[in-house]
Chains A and B, each alone.
Chain A
Amino acid sequence: MPLKTEPVMINFGPQHPSTHGVFRMRITFDGEVIVDMEPIFGYLHRGIEKLAESRTYTQNIPYTDRLDYLASMSNNLAYVMAVENLAGIAVPERAEYLRVIMAELMRIASHLMAVGALLNDMGAFFTPFMYMFREREKILDLFEMVCGQRLTYNYMRIGGVSQDIPEEFLPALKRFIDEMLGFIDEYDQLLAENEILLARSKGVGILPAELAINASVSGPMLRASGVKWDIRRADPYSVYDRFDFEIPTGKMGDTYDRYWVRIQEMRQSTRVVKQAMEQLPQGEVRAKVPLTLRPPKGEAYARIEAPKGELGFYLVSDDSANPYRFKVRAPSLINLTVLRDLCLGWKLADAIVIFGSIDICLGEVDR
């Protein structure tokens, strides 16, 4: 005799502590089990793609800061790469190295936030979050030293970076990298072995590799499902082909693997930064590019491995000072599309954790 209960529909968000912004999920429950869920986004839509069409190529750089505001450097990088492809501009070598250092630091910072917030979603009372924040703060200090801002860097320029690093930067960076490895080990102990964390994340929200590929999921989420795909290796850009690093992959594609892959990637990122620091050449950091650039007619696409996945910018030029079309391939948005498949059949509490493990940034999802 099966017991029938009434399904309940609950609106999660748009204002909710664990939606990481203004995101809404309409979840239908049977008891505590999710039988249906509909992600609804668009609450943070600012029309950046349209706004960008009426601004010059340089003026758009600060706008890309506001896409994934937890990884502004990476957004800057992908965008200026697209413009450089469009206009055929060569970047000085030192600038390439600086870009790599910044992008990898940004990856660490973004993953720190992802892991910390995930733990918070699991119900830890802000402690891991605060520890992660502390480490991220050190990275922000470094960024502030270089470009004067802590969140919206606007550091990359078409043809290089806005200015060279100050002399105290390299020692500070070196100290940070040395500390960081120890930090990751320490917190790996706190988190990766915690029975409650394991119970909450192992086997929860499994994303099979096939589904991940079909849904065009990218970044740590894809790698957690066991697919060894990293644009830094698969389609090297900048100077990534000169560094030696590994691509960690998960086994099952569950929440724990997504968490684990991020931790491992932080380790790899420190390796890359270390190598880049050693190889850093002297020289110019910015090619001579007019502030108001008029690229020839044509189109260009540039993609990078942003912390959250494949971030691409597609630009079309009509020979004027403003892009004719400015399109962002936002990894968060595309990774989010599998949310429903991951959550069905799991419990309310799992939905929150799965959602957290996707690691989205609403600024990028809604644009």
Chain B
Amino acid sequence: METGIAISFWILAAVTIASALAVVLFRNIFHAALFLVLCFFTIAGIFVILSADFLAAAQVLIYVGAIAVLIIFAIMLTRETQRGSPSGRLRLPALMVGLLFLATMVFIVVSTDWQVITEIPDQPTTSAIAQALFSGEEGFVLPFEIAAALLLAAIIGAIVLVRER
């Protein structure tokens, strides 16, 4: 069983990275978006391996089912998608930001002291997540509510922007 999980992890990881690369490298943005979907999906697979089933389902539901679909929708509404993404003036700054981000990530990964937990993860995870999110003392109620308010503000903002008078 252990080896099975290891094998699937490596496969998933490889596919994730490959598809992530495809997203940035493909010229046809519709294809790029499809690879994004694949990438999100394999990440959900990794969650499954980590016994985070709730998280995996949420990942698929939100990232694949909603976010990726919206991205594709936006692409379809854009003109001349077939020709690929046009090269803008912001190429260099974008590269800089990307490199910076990569450096940060690498730094964090290297500098973190990764600990392997020996205890079996909570099963089922649903109630544990609920506890963490909603319980008052050590939970994240405040950030959760703030995020909700922020999203609401964003929705209203979007409506105000787009509304025709």
B158 to chain A, nearest CB (A): 11
In the complex, whether B164 has a CB less than 8 A from a CB of chain A is yes
Tell whether, in the assembled complex, residue A1 and residue B79 are in contact, meaning their CB atoms are under 8 Å apart. Answer: no
B77 touches A5 (CB 8 A): yes
A2's contact among B77, B79, B164, by CB below 8 Å, is which? B164
* A31 closest partner in B (C-beta): B77
Min CB gap B55→A, angstroms = 35
Interface of A is mostly: loop
Is B161 an interface position by the 8 A CB rule?
Answer: yes
B161 shortest CB reach to chain A, Å: 6
B residues in contact with A1, CB < 8 Å: 161-162
In the assembled complex, the CB of A166 is this many whole angstroms from the nearest CB of chain B, namely 63
Query: What 1/0 mask marks residues of chain A from 1 to 19 whose CB sits below 8 Å from any chain B CB?
Result: 1110110000000000000
CB-defined contacts of A3 to chain B, threshold 8 Å: 162
Q: What is the total number of residues of chain B having a CB less than 8 Å from a CB of chain A?
A: 5
B77 contact set on A, CB distance < 8 A: 5
In the complex, A3→B77 CA distance in Å?
Answer: 11
Least CB distance, A33 to chain B, in whole angstroms: 12
B161 contacts across to A, CB distance below 8 A: 1
Bound-state CA distance A2–B161 (Å) is 8
**Which residue of chain A lies nearest to B80 when distances are taken between CB atoms in the complex?**
A6
Contact with A along B73-99 (1 / 0, CB 8 A): 000010100000000000000000000
Residues of B within 8 A of A2 (CB): 164
Bound Cα distance A101, B164 (Å): 56
A54–B33 CA distance with the chains assembled, in angstroms: 66
Query: Which residue of chain A lies nearest to B160 when distances are taken between CB atoms in the complex?
Result: A1
Question: 1/0 per position for B144-165, CB-CB distance to A under 8 A?
Answer: 0000000000000000011010
CA distance A2 to B163 in the complex (A): 7
B93, chain A: closest CB distance, angstroms: 25
Measured between alpha carbons, how far is A6 from B77 in the docked complex, in Å? 8
Q: Mark A292-324, 1 if CB is under 8 A from B, else 0.
A: 000000000000000000000000000000000
Q: Which of B79, B162, B164 contacts A6 (CB 8 A)?
A: B79
Nearest chain B CB to A43 CB, angstrom units: 32
Question: For residue B162, which residues in chain A have a CB less than 8 angstroms away from its CB?
Answer: 1, 3
Give CA–CA (A3, B78) in the complex, Å: 12
Q: How far is the CB of A59 from chain B (nearest CB, A)?
A: 57
Which chain B positions have C-beta within 8 A of A6?
A: 79
Chain A residue nearest in CB terms to B79: A6
6 examples of A-B residue contacts, CB within 8 angstroms: A1-B161, A1-B162, A2-B164, A3-B162, A5-B77, A6-B79
